[in-house]
């Protein structure tokens, strides 16, 4: 333990990230609001219930097709609130800026944050800036926090998911991660792959207006596979996912095949996983599809009794295999 250090893989959003949080922070901060380790903490406030969350953003490059670090920073926090059924009340933004960072780029990022917040119907009401010496940060790091109000009677939790429940995803997976990788490494992949970064609070509300939704998750780093494993761990069930039902845009699927990436583990910034009763699924799906960020929503599988709490993929050719949490980082292969 003494020579143990933090590895890049501890930040990948997969199993090691969870281990780091459990080993260091959960142990140090231990309290009931933190313990479930969901997208937002649920905090009582007088007679009301608040959702509270924070997230830091580190992306190279800061601008990429479809979005930029500012939009992602606002959407990520709005979405962490939205999946707990909360309506966002206010956001904060903190900036760690490397000396020499172009002022006009910073202005563009701020404008992008304002537009994303306006779209979500929330304001950035407080903030902080720090400037560090050249080389002590990579351009700009942004932290956002958000507080939201959970309407009475709403209690979404991964632990309430039941056997037989349907698993819905809100649209095409893996676009964000592939778009950023393409921009970062100038891979020149064509097909117009763009980040999906979007505020999903209105989409979540649309789904929640139908009865039967038991839990929602924001599918970000670690991808759908990691989210499903976390939900299975929390509710004590397994999941069966139909490979042929998974929405992945053809250009993204090709890019993943080329790079040796599995789209189930690639990051998204504008996708929800919704867990609802099988009976409610058609109505929830219809409500989601009527929203601009849910047009490609699809039922991709179901929750099943499984003492091993495993996520199984029923493959397109009729085979089946497990889908574990992300192990380490996803690295492109040699050939």
* 205 class by beta-carbon count within 10 Å (0-12 exposed, 13-18 middle, 19+ buried): middle
Residue 320 in the binding site for another protein (CB under 8 A): yes
149, 86 Cβ separation under 8 angstroms: yes
Nearer to another protein, 119 or 262 (CB): 262
Candidate list 163, 187, 202, 278; residue touching another protein; CB under 8 A: 187
Residue whose token pair is 């953003």 = 57
Q: Are 163 and 304 in contact (CB under 8 A)?
A: yes
- Of positions 126, 129, 159, 185, contacts another protein by CB under 8 A: 185
Decide: 281 and 230 in contact? Cβ < 8 Å. no
Per CB under 8 A, the segment of 61-69, 204-212, 256-264, 282-290 that binds another protein is 256-264
Q: Which is nearer to another protein, 67 or 259 (CB)?
A: 259
- 322: contact with another protein by CB under 8 A: yes
Q: Does 321 bind another protein (CB under 8 A)?
A: yes
Interface segment toward another protein; rule CB under 8 A; list 44-52, 55-63, 211-219, 323-331: 323-331
Segment contacting another protein (CB under 8 A): 69-77, 100-108, 172-180, 325-333? 325-333
Q: What is the x/- site pattern for another protein, positions 296-315, by CB under 8 A?
A: -----------------xxx
Handedness of CA 230, 233, 236, 242 (dihedral sign): positive
Please name which of 279, 327, 269, 268 lies closest in space to residue 302, comparing C-alpha atoms: 279
Q: Does 257 bind another protein (CB under 8 A)?
A: yes
The single residue among 254, 289, 296, 309 that binds another protein, judged by CB under 8 A, is: 254
Stretch that binds another protein, among 98-106, 127-135, 151-159, 259-267 (CB under 8 A): 259-267
DSSP sequence for 33-94? TTTT--SSEEEEETTEEEEEEEEEE--SSSEETTEEHHHHHHHHHHHHHHTTTPEEEEEEEE
Contact flag: residue 335 with another protein (CB under 8 A): yes
Query: Interface with another protein includes 331 (CB under 8 A)?
Result: yes
Contacts with another protein by CB under 8 A: the residue count is: 34
Give yes or no for residue 60 binding another protein (CB under 8 A).
no
- Inter-helix orientation angle 250-259/175-184, to 10°: 60
Segment 193-252, which members bind another protein (CB under 8 A)? 244
Residue 37 near residue 157, CB atoms below 8 Å: no
**How are beta strands 311-314 and 238-242 bridged, if at all?**
parallel
| DSSP conformation class of 240 | E
CB 252, min distance to another protein, A: 12
């Amino acid at each position: 333990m003494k020579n143990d250090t933090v590895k890049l893989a501890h930040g990948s959003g997969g199993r090691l990230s969870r281990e780091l949080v459990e080993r260091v922070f959960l142990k140090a901060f231990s309290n009931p609001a933190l313990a479930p380790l969901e997208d937002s903490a649920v905090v009582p406030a007088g007679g009301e219930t608040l959702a509270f969350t924070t997230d830091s953003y580190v992306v190279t490059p800061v601008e990429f097709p479809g979005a930029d670090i500012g939009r992602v920073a606002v959407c990520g926090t709005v979405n962490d609130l939205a999946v707990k059924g909360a309506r966002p009340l206010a956001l904060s933004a903190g900036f760690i800026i490397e000396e020499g960072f172009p002022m006009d780029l910073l202005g563009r990022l701020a404008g992008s944050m304002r537009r994303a917040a306006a779209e979500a119907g929330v304001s950035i009401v407080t903030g902080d800036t720090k400037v560090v010496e050249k080389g002590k940060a990579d351009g700009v790091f942004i932290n956002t926090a958000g507080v939201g109000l959970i309407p009475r009677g709403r209690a979404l939790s991964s632990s309430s998911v039941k056997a037989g429940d349907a698993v819905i995803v809100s649209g095409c997976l893996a676009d964000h991660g592939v778009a950023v990788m393409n921009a970062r490494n100038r891979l020149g992949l064509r097909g117009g792959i763009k980040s999906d970064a979007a505020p999903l609070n209105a989409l979540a509300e649309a789904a929640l207006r139908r009865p039967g939704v038991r839990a929602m998750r924001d599918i970000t780093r670690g991808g759908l596979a990691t989210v499903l494993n976390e939900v299975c761990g929390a509710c004590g069930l397994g999941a069966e996912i139909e490979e042929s039902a998974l929405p992945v845009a053809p250009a993204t699927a090709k890019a993943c095949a080329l790079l040796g990436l599995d789209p189930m583990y690639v990051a998204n910034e504008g996708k929800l996983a919704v867990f609802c009763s099988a009976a409610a699924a058609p109505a929830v799906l219809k409500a989601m599809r009527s929203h601009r960020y849910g047009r490609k929503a699809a039922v991709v599988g179901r929750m099943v009794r499984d003492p091993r709490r495993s996520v199984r993929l029923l493959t397109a050719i009729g085979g089946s295999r497990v889908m574990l949490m992300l192990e380490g980082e996803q690295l492109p292969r040699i050939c």
